[in-house]
Amino acid sequence: MVLATPTSGPLHASRQSWCDTTFVTCDQQNYASDGKQWSYCDHATNATELAECECKDTWKYGGDGCSPWHGGKARSMRGCPTLEDVHVCDPKATQPWCKTKDLYCKEQQGEQSAWVFCDPVTQRGVSQRSDTDVGAVVAASVGVTMLICACIVLGLVLLYRKWSQHRKADYSELTQTKLACDSSYDLNDSYDLNDSYDSFGARAPGASSYVPDNSYEEFVP
């Protein structure tokens, strides 16, 4: 049972609603409310709930590669460490995590107790990413990569097409110019035989040696 009017509560700011409880202690109380007759609660159902997970201010990572039992050295951590810090002890880790101030808290899943996955930026507990979420991220990354590759290929095809059209136009222009030059050369080199003789009937220098035979007289019946 929950009292209608809270008379106590958390000393620090919280995103959760809270309320006074009928009993001095209850299962949902956290380290701050234990034995103080209040707890965090859901305002919609009016029922108590676990507090949001809080990382310990300082704690030691003494497992995996940092285990003294395996020749390692426990590593000191502050709050929610970065994934790089976690990789020092566990290179296969996919999410940062931290030890929590409470044995049980809201973002824990399954058999988790006294620890939770966390966000180094907000320093708050987060739910574990499922395989489906990881697969979706990978699929999205592959899709974006394929889209970028397709855009690059399309750009190269368009550039090649533009280059081919430009080269074709240059070749066509060159061909037309060559044909015009050939036509001009033929006209300049062609001449009439009569142009090879001057007004006195003498053959011009360089003219053809052919001389039309005008020695016959036209036969008139």
User: Residue 54 CB: number of other CB atoms within 10 A?
Assistant: 23
1-5, 20-24, 66-70 — which is least confidently predicted?
A: 1-5
Model pLDDT, residue 49: 93
End-to-end CA distance of the chain: 152
Which amino acid would we find at residue 19?
C
Model pLDDT, residue 57: 95
Q: Say what the pTM is.
A: 0.52
* 191 band by pLDDT with thresholds 50, 70 and 90: very low
Q: Which residue has the higher pLDDT, 21 or 206?
A: 21
pLDDT at position 8 over 70: no
pLDDT at position 187 over 80: no
Dist. CA 19–CA 5, nearest whole Å: 7
CA dihedral 51, 54, 27, 61 (to 10 degrees): 150
Cα-based distances in Å from 180 to 170, 174, 191: 15, 10, 19
Note whether 79 and 57 are within 8 A (CB): yes
H-helix or E-strand spanning residue 196: none
Q: Which of 33-37, 102-106, 176-180, 209-213 is predicted most confidently?
A: 102-106
Model pLDDT, residue 130: 52
Q: Which residue has the higher pLDDT, 48 or 209?
A: 48
Cα-based distances in Å from 165 to 152, 157, 162, 176, 177: 20, 12, 5, 17, 18
pLDDT at position 90 over 90: yes
Q: Which residue has the higher pLDDT, 192 or 56?
A: 56
Domain boundaries, the chain: 1-51, 58-125, 130-166
63-72, 92-101, 182-191 — which is least confidently predicted?
A: 182-191
pLDDT at position 179 over 80: no
Question: And the tokens for 51?
Answer: 């507090």
pLDDT at position 185 over 70: no
What is the three-class DSSP state of 145? Answer: helix
* 163 band by pLDDT with thresholds 50, 70 and 90: confident
Say which DSSP state 101 is in: S
